[in-house]
């Protein structure tokens, strides 16, 4: 058994970031920007009015002043002339400030009389001009690696960048193993169960930007596994589920070795998730997860997501941990790092009493994995501990 941190390092050593491809802006949301892109123009590209009103020379704007309206500047149609002394231009939000003007008076502060305006007594102090380049200047860079959120897409669109360099989407092949498994919606015999892990893992990985391919369930026979590895060809990451432990039908390690995998490690000092293994199989990283449903999902959070992020081009890093107080006393921990399903309550992290690694109902009710370090001493309520946040349907 090796520590979780060692296992993660060895997985990172197997990873090669995927190449970059160019995609249209409309398809770039959620993708990982790579390299550096630069704004093609200033934004705003001119000094712009921030309000509907009148543009004039600042020195002419005094309570009671009477100015002659010499033209109009709607957004998208600049006023061609120049604003001289005693003059104003009717202007609208987003329009270029006419030459000569240095202030915009909002229309609420003037009285219009034919082709003249009279400035009111209670003038607001604002000049209401957005300076050219005030948002960003031409050449302003956005640097990857960066996962493109909606706000990034809006910014890059404003920078006039119709295409973006992003990491090619990682392909993940997920192989469920076990004679006892039947796909959801299938007809399980009384001695069978529904294959759930691949679906949870696919959801986890796809939320992080992968494309997951669920291969047909593999029965507990070496030839069948070998065939599955061949079906997985082309994937950047191959994830097997189950058959990782020491039972007579736990064949994944041997079959992967037979298929040519160089194993980087087997067995990690963690709970749940001990019989984890990893290696390289051809062009792919192969990670073999334990079959227990919660073990496979916890390994998904602790190993698969960080591995996927490294494949996407982010610097290798463990899943970010947060800190919170314990809501209750907890006993000493044993020789494996324990990831305990917990709820984040007002008093702090409250681990569930039953931590059996088969209980998906408790995983779905949890919004955190409380992390107990190897050989940690007993901890009292109120002590600060680390946890991994989980997505919870309740929020
Ligand atoms: N004698 C020992 N027995 C076990 C040990 C051990 O050290 N010595 N380790 C235990 C631990 S810890 C774990 S974790 C499991 C891991 O076992 P496997 O990876 O070999 O998984 P399976 O035996 O194939 O399955 C375990 C359990 O999970 C169910 N399963 C499997 N795949 C799926 C799936 N895709 N969807 C839903 N459920 C799945 C399977 O039916 C079993 O109930 O080994 C312990 N045993
Ligand atoms: O390592 Mo197992 O996942 O504890 O149940």
What average pLDDT score do residues 365-385 get?
Answer: 98
Cβ–ligand 1 contact at 306 (below 6 Å): no
Query: For all residues of the chain together, what is the average pLDDT?
Result: 96
Mutate to test the pocket of ligand 1, among 201, 212, 242 (most ligand atoms within 8 A of CB): 242
Pocket of ligand 2 (CB under 6 A): 271-274, 290, 292, 295, 357
What average pLDDT score do residues 146-154 get?
Answer: 98
What average pLDDT score do residues 320-343 get?
Answer: 98
Cβ–ligand 1 contact at 291 (below 6 Å): yes
Nearest listed ligand to the Cα of residue 197: 1
Query: pLDDT tens, 345-361?
Result: 999 999 999 999 999 99
Query: pLDDT tens, 203-242?
Result: 999 999 999 999 999 999 989 999 999 999 999 999 999 9
Burial class of residue 218 in the structure, from the number of CB atoms within 10 Å of its CB (0-12 exposed, 13-18 middle, 19+ buried):
buried
Per-residue confidence (pLDDT) for residue 395, from 0 to 100: 59
Q: Is the pLDDT score of 314 beyond 80?
A: yes
What Rg value do the Cα atoms of the chain yield, rounded?
A: 31
Chain-centroid distance of CA 20 in Å reads: 18
Q: Is the pLDDT score of 86 beyond 70?
A: yes
Which domains occur in the chain, in start order? 4-18+168-311 (3.40.980.10), 20-43+134-167 (3.90.105.10), 48-130 (2.170.190.11), 322-389 (2.40.340.10)
Q: Is the pLDDT score of 250 beyond 90?
A: no
What average pLDDT score do residues 261-275 get?
Answer: 95
Q: Is the pLDDT score of 394 beyond 70?
A: no
Tell me, in angstroms, the distance from the centre of ligand 2 to residue 267's CA: 10
Per-residue confidence (pLDDT) for residue 245, from 0 to 100: 85
Q: Is the pLDDT score of 247 beyond 90?
A: no
ipTM above 0.95, yes or no: yes
Atom of ligand 2 nearest to the CA of 356: 5
Closest CA to 272 of 295, 293, 292: 295
Q: Is the pLDDT score of 72 beyond 70?
A: yes
> What percent of the chain lies above the pLDDT cut of 70?
99
């Amino acid at each position: 058994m090796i520590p979780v941190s060692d296992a993660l390092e060895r997985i990172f050593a197997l990873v090669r970031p995927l190449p970059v491809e160019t995609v249209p802006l409309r398809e770039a949301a959620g993708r990982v920007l790579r390299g550096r892109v630069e704004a093609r123009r200033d934004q705003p590209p001119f000094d712009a009015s921030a309000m509907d009103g009148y543009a004039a020379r600042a020195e002419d704007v005094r309570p009671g002043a009477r100015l002659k309206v010499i033209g109009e500047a709607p957004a998208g149609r600049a006023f061609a002339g120049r604003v001289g002394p005693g003059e104003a231009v009717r202007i609208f939000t987003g329009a270029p400030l006419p030459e000569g003007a240095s202030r915009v008076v909002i229309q609420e502060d003037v009285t219009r009389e034919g082709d003249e305006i009279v400035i009111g007594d209670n003038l607001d102090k604002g000049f209401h001009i957005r300076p050219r380049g005030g948002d960003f200047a031409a050449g302003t860079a956005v640097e990857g690696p960066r996962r493109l959120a909606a706000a990034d897409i809006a910014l890059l669109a404003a920078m006039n960048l119709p295409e973006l360099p992003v990491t090619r989407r990682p392909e993940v092949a997920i192989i469920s193993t076990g004679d006892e498994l039947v796909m959801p919606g299938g007809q399980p015999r009384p001695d069978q169960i529904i294959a759930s892990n691949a679906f949870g893992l696919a959801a986890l990985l796809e939320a992080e930007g992968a494309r997951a391919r669920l291969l047909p369930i593999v029965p507990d026979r070496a030839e069948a596994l070998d065939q599955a590895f061949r079906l997985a060809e082309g994937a950047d990451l191959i994830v097997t589920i189950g058959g990782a432990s020491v039972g007579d039908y736990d064949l994944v390690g041997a079959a992967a070795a037979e298929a040519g995998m160089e194993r980087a490690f087997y067995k990690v000092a963690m709970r749940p998730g001990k019989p984890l293994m990893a290696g390289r199989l051809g062009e792919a990283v192969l990670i073999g997860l334990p079959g227990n449903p919660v073990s496979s999902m916890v390994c998904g959070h602790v190993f698969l997501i960080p591995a996927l992020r490294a494949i996407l081009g982010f610097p290798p890093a463990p899943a970010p941990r947060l800190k919170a107080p314990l809501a209750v006393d907890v006993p000493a921990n044993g020789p494996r790092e324990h990831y305990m399903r917990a709820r984040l309550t007002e008093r702090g992290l409250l681990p569930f009493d039953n931590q059996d690694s088969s209980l998906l109902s408790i995983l779905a009710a949890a919004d955190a994995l409380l992390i107990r370090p190897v050989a940690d001493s007993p901890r009292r309520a109120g002590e600060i501990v680390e946890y991994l946040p989980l997505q919870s349907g309740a929020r």
